[in-house]
């Protein structure tokens, strides 16, 4: 097992990569990421001993294109849980450009942290953009879910809709793939992570791929609605 120091280093490395690289697919464009270089950027708090919620995904999770990590959906989720009295730490493990295959390959970085309780898996958007067969996406996500459940970790699965340009058959295959995974593993399921956001210019960044601050707030509300019942069921609020 990796040491605590190595896990923390991996987390910060992931954050640096998330906020700076130009990645394929949902990686976005570096020119859309910005902050005033004269203003020191704040950093996420260090990893604590609290039970963990891991937001695991690609640039849609990392907050790519936003000018602060505090505007990403995991950061907004942390604020909501704190206000509601849930004593959990939300960690952002979103990597720009990640496919389901790459997400599976780096899973060990997140499962090496002590006290993982819940994973919110948001992966597949980049696969869909590349036309990766639904069966291949399913294999990667299925293996990921198996490994997490073997460790006693709860999973929330976030699905995506394939665009019309991908064809009706592919749309049906992708939708069925996510739904079948959720049913097979008895997971809490969000059928469309970007529902009501994707395609709405008022909620999207100029690249048409990533949500802006308003879009992120809608996504966070959707995730929290799926998450809170799990927290209430398995871990009581702190007094």
Per-residue pLDDT of the chain (239 residues; tens, 9 = 90+): 333 333 334 433 444 333 333 333 444 433 222 333 333 456 888 999 999 999 999 999 999 999 999 999 999 999 999 999 999 999 999 999 999 999 999 999 999 887 899 999 999 999 999 999 999 999 999 999 999 999 999 999 999 999 999 999 999 999 999 999 999 999 999 999 999 999 999 999 999 999 999 999 999 999 999 999 999 876 555 55
Start-end of H helices in the chain: 4-20, 59-62, 73-84, 100-105, 107-111, 125-130, 134-150, 168-184, 213-234
What's the gap between Cα 161 and its chain centre?
A: 16
Tell me which of 3.80.10.10, 3.40.50.300, 3.40.50.1110, 3.30.1780.10 is the CATH number of domain 4-23+47-234.
3.40.50.1110
Tell me the domain boundaries of the chain: 4-23+47-234
> Closest by alpha carbon to 57, among 77, 42, 40?
77
Catalytic pick among 176, 183, 207, 214 = 207
Look at the block and give the residue holding tokens 């859309």. Answer: 32
What's the gap between Cα 39 and its chain centre?
A: 27
Span 54-99, pLDDT tens digits:
999 999 999 999 999 999 999 999 999 999 999 999 999 999 999 9
210 is catalytic: yes
Catalytic pick among 10, 72, 100, 210 = 210
Catalytic pick among 10, 58, 59, 198 = 59
The answer to whether residues 162 and 176 touch, using CB atoms and an 8 Å cutoff, is no
Angle of CA points 197, 62, 236, to nearest 5°: 90
Strand pairing report for 188-190 and 52-57: unpaired
| Tokens (6 digits) for 123 | 């992966």
CA dihedral 165, 202, 24, 94 (to 10 degrees): -120
Tell me how many helices (H) and strands (E) the chain has: 9, 5
Look at the block and give the residue holding tokens 């593993």. Answer: 185
Angle of CA points 127, 227, 104, to nearest 5°: 30
What distances in angstroms separate CA 36 from CA 33, 39, 68, one per listed residue? 11, 5, 11
59 is catalytic: yes
């Amino acid at each position: 097992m990796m040491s605590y120091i190595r896990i923390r280093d991996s987390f910060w490395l992931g954050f640096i990569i998330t906020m700076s690289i130009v990645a394929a697919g949902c990686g976005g464009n570096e020119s859309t990421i910005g902050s005033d270089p004269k203003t020191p950027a704040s950093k996420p708090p260090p990893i604590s001993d609290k039970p963990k919620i891991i937001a695991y995904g690609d640039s849609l999770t990392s907050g790519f294109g936003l000018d602060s990590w505090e505007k990403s959906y995991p950061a907004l989720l942390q604020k909501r849980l704190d206000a509601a009295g849930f004593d959990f730490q939300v960690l952002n493990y979103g990597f720009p450009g990640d496919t389901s295959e790459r997400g599976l390959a780096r899973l060990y970085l997140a499962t090496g942290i002590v006290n993982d309780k819940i994973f919110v898996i948001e992966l597949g958007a980049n696969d869909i953009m590349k036309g990766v067969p639904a069966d291949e996406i399913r294999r990667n996500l299925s293996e990921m879910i198996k490994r997490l459940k073997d460790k006693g970790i709860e999973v929330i699965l976030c699905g995506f809709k394939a665009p019309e340009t991908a064809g009706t058959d592919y749309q049906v295959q992708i939708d069925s793939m996510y739904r079948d995974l959720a049913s097979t593993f008895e997971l809490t399921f969000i059928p469309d992570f970007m529902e009501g956001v994707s395609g709405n210019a008022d909620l999207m960044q100029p690249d048409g791929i990533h949500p802006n601050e308003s879009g992120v707030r809608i996504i966070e509300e959707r995730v929290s609605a799926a998450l809170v019942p799990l927290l209430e069921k398995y871990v009581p609020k702190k007094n």
